[in-house]
Amino acid sequence: MALIIFTLRLAIGILLFPMFLLNLLGLWNQICKKWFPYFLRRFTVMYNEQMASKKRELFSNLAEFAGPSGKLSLLEVGCGTGANFKFYPAGCRVTCIDPNPNFEKFLIKSVAENRHLQFERFVVAAGENMQQVADGSVDVVVCTLVLCSVQNQEQILQEVCRVLRPGGAFYFLEHVAAESSTWNYFWQQVLDPAWYLLFDGCNLTRESWKALERARFSKLELQHLQAPLPVELVRPHICGYAVK
């Protein structure tokens, strides 16, 4: 099976040789950082249509984690175009972090469309190093379709625990690896190297639930599901929340 996967990866590599060559020359990342926000803007419209009920269910108890002030302080890591804003409760104070500065103009548009929120700032930084956010300063951290592409899952979860106040919560919704005995997992393995380059570092075969189980949360509510998406490769999902 490993030989078959290698052979198919090689064939795909030949077909997509220009992209792999640009990556080898150090040029592909610059191109991808510019075009990816435009792709994500369109993708998130479809994704929200298909996943709206799941997102509403997931975020339904966000307000319960509001701090002593009564206002919810929320940090979204890997905010992208701001596709989650409409699911947040009114009056929520939102800070956004993303390593790609090209998302900012799309984020500003989403802020204008979601006046029920109190937008605080956009920080250009990786989730593994959120030094601009103080220890124990937020009630909730949200991360959707992000753990698939971070460089170090353990490190980002350590940062999440650091910035959360005691009793705060981490909400997640992520696509993950399929069950290892399925054809879906086979094709995830075959397409993973090309997918990684095409979609700005996204990995198809990550078992992100394992990193969450290892993290230092006092409580973890985690659910596996098959998302109703047209692309079978990204249907396996996990969602839930963890309390510090």
Average pLDDT over residues 158-166: 96
How confident is the model over 201-235, as pLDDT tens digits?
Answer: 999 999 999 999 999 899 999 999 999 999 999 99
| % pLDDT > 70, the chain | 100
| % pLDDT > 90, the chain | 94
pLDDT number for residue 121: 94
Asked if pLDDT for residue 68 goes beyond 90, the answer is no
Average pLDDT over residues 156-167: 96
Average pLDDT over residues 9-22: 92
Return the structure tokens found at 47: 């994704």
- What is the full DSSP assignment across 84-134? TGGGSPTT-EEEEEES-GGGHHHHHHHHHH-TTSEEEEEEE--TT--TTS-
pLDDT number for residue 85: 96
Domain ranges of the chain: 1-243
- Class of the 1-243 domain? alpha beta
How confident is the model over 229-242, as pLDDT tens digits?
Answer: 999 999 999 999 99
pLDDT number for residue 126: 93
Asked if pLDDT for residue 70 goes beyond 90, the answer is no
